[in-house]
Structure 1
Amino acid sequence: MAAFLDALMLSSPWELLAVVLAIAYLTLAIRQSLWCWPAAAIGAVIYTVLFADARLYMESLLQAFYLVMAAYGFWQWKRGAPGKNAELKVTQLNWRWHLYSIIVLSVLSLCIVWLLTHYTDAEEVYLDTFTTVFSFFATFLVTKKILETWYYWLVIDSFYVFLFWSKGFYATALLFALYTVMVVIAFWRWRQDMVRN
């Protein structure tokens, strides 16, 4: 507990605000509340600046993407199922689709790593790139209410704990440790909703 409080004391007020908004986002997303998206948007703006200052360029880019996806997610969830004017339901995709996606995203990540290594002063290039690329993908799956998004987030968030702790974003690292627990809850809740519908 003492380490937890020490880490929070080392965090900036902006980082703490972004953490609160991120917790609000995931809590509301678990409940499939439309209001998760405004919380995500505001938190993303704060993190965009913080990560750019820390030379985590891929994470900063990801946060800018989150801002766009927050608008898209809000619209998608409000609009509902295409052509049916009904609430968007939780669905699943087959394992072959996921395997293909993982292969493509891994190759893309390696290409980006090469570019960042040769043309920027980026730090933690491999971890920053792989977590970012897969986060883009997992975020898109959230906007479509694809159940397997929570598998991706479990792995991604686990790696983020290490990345953010090593870069001195202690409150954010603790947030992602909490996220790994909340992701399990999210999966369970979405699965229940899918079975009911």
Structure 2
Amino acid sequence: MSLADVLDPLQQPLVTVLGTPVSWTEALGFGSGALCVWLVARQHLANWPIGIANNLFFVLLFTQSGLYADAGLQIVFIALAVYGWWTWTHGGGPGSPVLPVRRTTRTEWARLCAAGVAGTLALTVLLGRATDSTVPFWDALTTALSLAATYGQCRKLVESWWLWIAADLVYIPLYTYKELYATSLLYVGFLALCLTGLRSWRRDLAVRQRELTEAVA
């Protein structure tokens, strides 16, 4: 049995949304993606393996849709998931095995912004010249935002949720344009979950800061 024989059933239509067939790949990406973000908002460690499964589904989906940067991004996401899985369980330092939620420092913001701008420009040029992508800039921008947000998530930076929110606001119309309606709807759900996650992590940070203040006092 070849790889194509294994993957072909995942590409078959499952349902039809607004006259457009939705494949098993897109449906499975929808479900695993929503579950992953829900788990992240609750700082549950299971978000990492669920996220890796989600990335694999989206590699197939985005390759089929000509969103090559997004497809390649999923491979990077898998590597970051392994890193995030480790930091969430070992990154707290001596006496704190669990990584705590914290704010992004100015140095980290500067580095993330510089990397984001450089990455967006480089990917835009690459996609425009080396692929048949019809949306090179938007594909590159969402890639850069998603990478920065995922890194922040790995380090439990509260502001990583703002980066995800910005990415989702671009992803929603982008996937609609590409007629990936179920995925576009998924990102509407992601946007709502990101707002919930931001509120939850802020609350956790406030509790931790209050506990530190009381311990010093």
Whether TM-score is above 0.5 comes out as yes
Pair 1:106-2:117 in alignment: yes
SS in 1 for 2:44: coil
Which amino acid is 2:57 matched to? Answer: I
Structure 1 segment 27-176 matched on structure 2, within 5 A: 27-95=38-106, 97-99=108-110, 101-176=112-187
Shift of 1:8: 9.1
Which amino acid is 2:28 matched to? Answer: L
In the superposition, relative to structure 1, how do residues 100 and 73 fare at CA in structure 2: closer, same or farther (>3 Å)? closer
Select between 138-147 and 10-19 the one with higher mean Cα deviation: 10-19
Shift of 1:149: 0.3
Greater C-alpha radius of gyration: 2
Show the counterpart of 1:14.
25
Q: Residues 18-72 of structure 1: CA distance to partner in whole angstroms, max 9, x if unpaired?
A: 1100011011101100000111000100101111121111000111111112222
Shift of 1:97: 4.2
Between the aligned partners of 2:121 and 2:161, the Cα distance in structure 1 is 23
SS in 2 for 1:11: strand
Residue pair 1:8, 1:170 contacting (<8 A) in 2 also? no
In the superposition, relative to structure 1, how do residues 136 and 117 fare at CA in structure 2: closer, same or farther (>3 Å)? same
The answer for unaligned runs of 5 or more in structure 2 is 1-15, 209-217
SS in 2 for 1:10: strand
> With CA pairs under 8 Å and 6+ residues apart, which has the higher RCO, 1 or 2?
1
Residue pair 1:41, 1:67 contacting (<8 A) in 2 also? yes
Between the aligned partners of 2:59 and 2:42, the Cα distance in structure 1 is 26
Which amino acid is 2:156 matched to? Answer: K
Select between 79-88 and 126-135 the one with higher mean Cα deviation: 79-88
SS in 1 for 2:45: coil
In the superposition, relative to structure 1, how do residues 89 and 14 fare at CA in structure 2: closer, same or farther (>3 Å)? same
> Greater share of strand residues, 1 or 2?
2
The number of equivalent residue pairs is 193
Alignment RMSD, CA only? 1.8
SS in 1 for 2:97: coil
Between the aligned partners of 1:68 and 1:101, the Cα distance in structure 2 is 18
Residue pair 2:91, 2:99 contacting (<8 A) in 1 also? yes
TM-score of the two chains, using structure 1 as the length reference = 0.90
Q: Residues 136-177 of structure 1: CA distance to partner in whole angstroms, max 9, x if unpaired?
A: 111010010000001111110010001111112111100111
Between the aligned partners of 2:112 and 2:85, the Cα distance in structure 1 is 25
Q: Residues 74-121 of structure 1: CA distance to partner in whole angstroms, max 9, x if unpaired?
A: 121122413444211000024564255324412331122112212222
Between the aligned partners of 1:189 and 1:66, the Cα distance in structure 2 is 23
Select between 143-152 and 68-77 the one with higher mean Cα deviation: 68-77
